[in-house]
A and B are shown apart, each in its own frame.
Chain A
Amino acid sequence: MMWWLCIRFPSLMLDSLSLRESTEATAVIERQVVLQANTTAIEQGIQPGHSMATALSLYPELHAVERQTKREKELLEHVAVWAYRFSPQVSIDTELSVIFLEIRGSLKLFRGFNRLFSYLSQGIKKRNLQFYCGLSHNPVASYLISYSDKEPGYYRQSPTKLDNNKIQQQLKSSPVTLLPCSKNVKKNLKSMGLNHISAVFLLPSTSLGKRFGRDFFELIAYLKNEKKEHRPLFFPPEYFHSSCYFTHGLNNKQQLDPYITQLLTELKNHLRLRQLINRQLNWQLNYIDGGSESMLLDTSLHVFQQQSLFDITLLKLEQLKLRANIESLSLSCKRFEKSENHNDNLFQQQDNTFLTGGDSKNEQYSIVMDKLLSRLQSQHCIQLSAHNDLLPEKAWRATQYTDVNTSDPLDRNATPPRPLWLLSKPAVIQQHQQQLYWQGYLQLLQGPERIDNQWWQQRHARDYYIALHSNGSIYWIFKDQIKRQWFVHGLFS
């Protein structure tokens, strides 16, 4: 018989936003209804189910935060990945906010339930999460038992056997409202006076099935231990990891070359199987003295090019100074993308290219960018992207280089023509004998174009003109209507 441990997180909504222990009265809301409230809010009389209007009548200072289901799911998955070390059979139920672990097979490894449970609960406590546990032969029963006021250990008869009587007793006393079934079914049960599971257990399964459907029939069968419950298992996300170990240690970088090639080849095979392309290479050099060094390389290639990746790795390695002998080299990859579905060429010209499609010009650009990035670091590579703003200096902005286009979609008609060269900071224009002077005299040719905006932050009111410089250049200048001062802002030619 299996032992399923249910870990239920009753405050997952608050915990995922780190708000449960906030001293401020806080509630998680969805569609203006309170779903969870922290202790401070509960003390003010706020309860789940209250409308925002009622909650604010009770406590006008209430801090209300919108529910974030994605964060909740991430948190559950994060815990599940960690919990994987306790059991290979892990299952997640985001609706119930629970994680199920089959622990019967792990009892020997952890030398008994108590040690296992102690590790597990300590680990969750460290994460500062509120949780309750239940133990039974199947997940749904363990879920209901998690509502009992007894520790899970109470439901064991011996180190290897669960106490079925205690479990059944607890299940029978559970209210039907706790059952993981539809609201309609629960309402129907209540309207038959079936308030506790004990009353449901007394009824013939066929009669129940006829009235409440197959799912409910199965649910009762699980609870009665008449049927084995199969839940979809959770598997940690797949990522690539491989290492090469050097028994005597390597003491110079050149010695690493064949191993780098080997690991890249393994990665290539891994990617080919999964039709993926990597977005990152995480190299780790482990020294004999126990220390280690990491090199994280972002890549922007749209096809896997082993030689390029090899070159980039060497470039990066050049900057590294070895501290001691290297014991192992590992390569891991966590960031992937679906690769473009190109077929292999029938007559491949290069061994190290398994995908040869794509625009070669773009690829060359990507290779250059990757090389620049590895040499200069990404924070030193910037690109210009368009930004939807009426202020000229904000209409374009420099952003850290990425291969994804971050520009705002622009309405070409709404974007007026602007000078090619905009000064990073407008330069003050002097006035000589009532004439505008900036490294020479300026003569207004056309304008004004008035821009008056950003009143909610700092108002900018400017009249822009096109002006002819005495050197023959065409400048874009403006008069700041607030400071009453002239500035040069750009150059047309």
Chain B
Amino acid sequence: MKLVLPDYAELHCISNFTFLRGASHPEELVTQAAALDYQAVTISDECSFAGVVRAHMAAKACNIKLIIGSEFSLSENIRLLLLATDKKAYSQISSLISKARLRSPKGKYDISLKDFQREPAHYLTIWLVDDTLADEQKTNQNIANQLKSVFQKSLWMGINLSRKSHQQQRYMQCYAIAKQYQIPMTACGNVHMHMAGRKPLQDVVTAIRLNTNIQKLGNKLQVNAELYLHSKKQLASLYPPDLLAETLQIAARCQFTLDSLNYCYPDEIVPPNTTATKFLRELTEDGARKRWPDHVPETVTTLIEKELKLIHEMEYEQYFLTVYDIVQFARNQKILCQGRGSAANSAVCYCLFITEVDPARSQLLFERFISKERDEPPDIDVDFEHERREEVMQYIYRKYGRERAALAATVITYKPRSAVRDVGKALGLDQALVEKLAKSLSWWKKPQQLDELLNKAQVKQRSISAQLFLQLVDEILRFPRHLSQHVGGFIICREPISTLVPLENAAMENRTVIQWDKTDLESLGLMKIDVLALGMLSAIRKSLGYISNFEKNRIGGFRLDDIPPEDKATYDMLCKADTIGVFQIESRAQMSMLPRLRPRTFYDLVIQIAIIRPGPIQGGMVHPFLRRRQGLESITYANTRLESVLGRTLGVPIFQEQVIQLAMVAAGFSGGEADQLRRAMASWGHNGHLDLFRDKLVNGMLDRGYSIDFADRLFSQLRGFGAYGFPESHSASFALLAYASSWIKCNHPGAFYCGLLNSQPMGFYAPSQLVQDAQRHGVEILPVCINHSQWDHHLTTTHTLQLGFRLLKGMHRKSAEKIVTARNSGIFTSMSNFIQRTHINRHEQNCLVRSDAFQCFNSHRYQSQWQISAVEESRPLFNIENDTVLDDHILLAAPKETEEIQWDYSYTGLTLRRHPMTLLRENPLLRSCTRATDLATIDHGRIVHVAGLVTCRQRPGTATGVLFITLEDETGYCNTIVWKNQQQHYNQEIINGRILSIKGKLQRTDNISGLDPQQQTPVVHIVAGFIKDISHLIPLETSSHDFH
């Protein structure tokens, strides 16, 4: 006779979002429950809803009912499981989680029975008795009595029979209490993993959580591997039928689904007596008139109408108005901001002054931003000045209150290095060995090598096989580790957020985050606003301020809008790759592309920014584009449809959306498929979804007569674009800032460098390189001085920059301000006068002395240090009634020039004296060296000898192991290429060297054929053949931008 299997709903599963307890992803639990033909499955992470959205999406995909719940350990040592029956119950549980989490530090929670008594419960409560049942029957009766009085008829007793010792006796104990207090009993799996095979990983995460190793866990390990989703047959043998049947009764009462969450925008942004639709139209039309004061172009009016119609249909008005409100605040506060990303495709955003990409000047795809077919909420990213973003965030909190505005979370997951470290530690491997394994992952694909490493280690580690280690590392990869705060993704609601999603404390003080991340919000169609920080906006705003100071006649000061478009001198500068400090196009790779691409228009700049990305580089699109641009290759298209997609980039796909359009045009992808492809591209690197499209794409293109070569190139572009490609709108937004910063550099170099230096740390270059570049552009730099400097650097004339105290290592802003305040009543006349009037601490006095800030008293830094050290810190005033106390007539020898330079670098990171390389030129070792500026005059293929301070060591992922080293001398920079075999040979010199001497073959690319040689800026590289570390000649504390 065939056995009739019972139906079952699992009411108690914790996923890996109960960090370091659960050993399966929520999706794995849901999928497995569906495979086992359960009627429903619950995700009930401990005081968390962090995994429920993923589970919800998986449940929809495999068509199983998902119950949402949460498990709590109460301070009274009672474990409860709450299940959401309806929206009200869900909100109640969410609020309880928030309450418990917000009163505790990050990652912890605190809740007691009285928290459940505040309002009548809509949720169902299950008392989890398996581990917490006390030995004393009286205590259990007490608990049962209390719980019954709080939860009354919505209370169950959850029984877990996982083959532990004396299970029968425990069951009988539970049965007696349940009967006495009339609490119905139900089966509860206490599921920690979707399959029993995850037990090793479950033990490993326990060891990580308890900060020990598995060998030492003893009784803290799960005694067996029973906490998994059992088959119905197994369940039938484990539980009495009534307990299984009760799960179905409970599941039937839980009708809540995340789809029923209806997110409401805040409504205070719409003024009374109007509607959001009307208000948005008014603002847009008003903005359009401001953007085009003479006449709004016809094309733009059509675009606006089309967009407003779609926005109204999708009911996105409040979202636009919310972003508008935030941007308005920033503008009123004179905080520079600019929208980017797909929002730059919208004419409405341009009219609302959210973005700056002129729709009349570009071909933007509004569908890339909002699409009815895609039915996804729009995503507007707005960059604010990095130093003032906090003001914007505080405004949001003020306006909507902390209950209605919160930051999205970022789920920090295990990456290969952290996985190796934690698993290694949990398995009890030696710490030094674990570090070694984590540092170089070359063994990853070679288990044999790992075996050797483990065998070479201590005896105790021999028992851990390489295979086991690899398996565990592989399993734990992508496991969530903890929640962190998103860089700036805000969610704002009409109702308190905690009723929608739980809130918890972030590590940063006074910051709260919701328990969902960006993907979760997208999945549920909730809108978020990215309030991001961008250093270049701070720099530009400051530079504009300095320009305004010197242009007193201009009313309202010099604004970003005042920068004239398409300035010839600016493009001339860009063609010469003179872009140190310029936004986005200052890297070595960008600088070597500029003289080849020779941007002459804004759109060239848009391409320049997008082309030096792994996508186009890996797809081999850079050289074809350059050849076509230089007229060395004809621009042809297989058909007119391709021309429409690729026409603006000379037939070469450069932007992300072009690749998507190509998939549709050339490979026959439908709109829906193209959209799936776009999603897969965005998540490439996280999963292998993209590879699923390969055959379809390649075959589709072959069927339509394209070459296999073209198809393969397109696919590798897709891969590159996934994580690193730029859409056109994004590139256009960045190009605006690149152009603005270039224009300022070209026309107001003093203001440019001052703004940039005052916004550090940011960008690619250290202050030392920026200061040298400023000097090369005719800006006079004055050293830090106690009688002239302020905290920030400032301009004394348009071309004279006085360095500020912010440059000094170890100096604090408050002390600098004390100095400036004291100086307001007259300059300092002597060191004792300075000490008497400022009262700054010894450490900062030393900072000033060592950075030579007292040179105005004609005292060298050694003498100043001698004098200032005579003051006893504990009683400074007692000691310096007059200068004689400081001056005991001892004269110390003045520092030599090399010593001065060393101190300059040590305490300010730069020197205004002679460049160290100028001093070294006299050394016989460097007599044959060529200066960086002279390299341009040397023929291709010649052997040259160069030397300089190492400012950058880079091994880009796109360059197959090639290392680029940039050397700085007194005339400029020299780029060297080190091939793999040379890297091995000169490993020590490359890693340890601060000053290198390199001999090698000069590679020269004269870019545009037919162009006047005078206008050419050749791209020069030295291919290193011999490298010598000469750091010992002048020991300097220089900084280098390494291995990014």
Contacts and interface: CB of A to CB of B under 8 A. Distances in A.
A and B assemble together:
yes
B261 interface: no
* Most chain B beta carbons < 10 A, residue from A45, A53, A212, A457: A45
Contacts of B427: 456
Given A64-B435, A192-B866, A408-B218, A456 B463 contact: yes
* Most chain B beta carbons < 10 A, residue from A29, A58, A449, A461: A449
A191 B439 contact: no
B464 A456 contact: yes
Interface stretch (B481-489, B644-652, B987-995): B987-995
A389 B870 contact: no
Interface stretch (B294-302, B719-727, B742-750, B885-893): B885-893
A60 B870 contact: no
A122 B663 CA distance: 82
Interface string A440-465: 00000010111111011100010110
Contact of A449 (B165, B895, B988): B165
Contacts of A211: 866, 869-870
A410 B219 CA distance: 9
Given A417-B166, A450-B224, A456-B468, A60 B439 contact: yes
A45 B893 CA distance: 36
Interface stretch (A89-97, A125-133, A202-210): A202-210
Interface string B605-646: 000000000000000000000000000000000000000000
B224 A192 contact: no
Nearest to B906: A191
B326 to A, nearest CB: 41
Contacts of B163: 448-450, 463
A414 interface: yes
A261 interface: no
Interface string B193-205: 0000001100100
A451 B167 CA distance: 13
B435 A188 contact: no
A289 interface: no
Contacts of B861: 191
Given A58-B987, A60-B436, A66-B431, A390 B862 contact: no
A116 interface: no
B844 to A, nearest CB: 14
Interface in B863-881: 865-866, 869-870, 872
B225 A193 contact: no
* Most chain B beta carbons < 10 A, residue from A204, A387, A390, A416: A390
A207 B865 CA distance: 13
B223 A390 contact: yes
A408 B220 CA distance: 13
B350 interface: no
Contacts of B436: 56, 60, 62, 64
A63 B216 CA distance: 25
Interface in A206-262: 207, 210-212
Nearest to B899: A193
A53 B223 CA distance: 39
B384 interface: no
Interface residues of A, number: 53
Interface in B416-469: 427, 431-432, 435-436, 439-440, 442, 463-464, 468
A58 to B, nearest CB: 6
A185 to B, nearest CB: 10
B882 interface: no
A167 to B, nearest CB: 25
B168 interface: yes
Given A191-B850, A390-B221, A449-B167, A204 B991 contact: no
Given A191-B849, A390-B218, A456 B865 contact: no
A52 interface: yes
Contacts, number: 130
A64 B869 contact: no
A58 B988 contact: yes
A400 interface: no
Nearest to B468: A456
A232 B846 CA distance: 35
B164 interface: yes
Nearest to A210: B870
Contacts of A54: 991-992
Nearest to B989: A45
A387 to B, nearest CB: 8
A192 B464 contact: no
A493 to B, nearest CB: 17
Interface in A150-189: 188
Contacts of A455: 199-200, 203
Nearest to A413: B135
Interface in A1-56: 29, 32, 44-45, 47, 52-54, 56
B520 interface: no
Contacts of A57: 439, 987, 991
B166 A452 contact: no
A69 to B, nearest CB: 17
B2 to A, nearest CB: 24
Given A389-B218, A452-B224, A66 B432 contact: yes
A416 B987 contact: no
Nearest to B218: A388
B523 to A, nearest CB: 36
Contacts of B219: 388-390, 410-411, 414-415
A417 B894 CA distance: 82
Contacts of A288: none
Given A65-B432, A452-B199, A53 B439 contact: yes
A457 B987 contact: no
Contacts of A64: 432, 435-436
A204 B889 CA distance: 11
Given A414-B219, A456-B468, A193 B892 contact: yes
B432 A449 contact: no
Contacts of A451: 223-224
B903 interface: yes
Contacts of B895: 193
A388 B135 CA distance: 21
Interface string A61-75: 011111000000000
Interface in A401-456: 408, 410-411, 413-417, 446, 448-453, 455-456
B27 interface: no
B226 interface: yes
A459 B699 CA distance: 49
A194 B870 CA distance: 16
Contacts of A53: 439
Nearest to A415: B219
A44 B439 contact: no
A39 B436 CA distance: 20
Contacts of A204: 888, 890
B166 A449 contact: yes
B221 A453 contact: yes
Contacts of A62: 436
B174 interface: no
A20 B166 CA distance: 57
B199 A207 contact: no
A181 to B, nearest CB: 14
B681 interface: no
Given A193-B893, A203-B890, 19 more contacts: A45-B991, A45-B992, A52-B435, A56-B440, A64-B435, A66-B431, A192-B865, A192-B869, A204-B890, A207-B888, A212-B869, A388-B219, A390-B219, A410-B219, A411-B219, A450-B162, A453-B221, A453-B224, A463-B163
7 contacts: A32-B435, A60-B442, A192-B866, A194-B892, A451-B223, A452-B199, A452-B226
Across the A-B interface, give the 5 residue pairs with the lowest CB-CB distance, nearest first: A388-B218, A45-B988, A416-B165, A450-B163, A64-B432
Interface of A: 29, 32, 44-45, 47, 52-54, 56-58, 60, 62-66, 188, 191-194, 203-204, 207, 210-212, 387-390, 408, 410-411, 413-417, 446, 448-453, 455-457, 461, 463-464
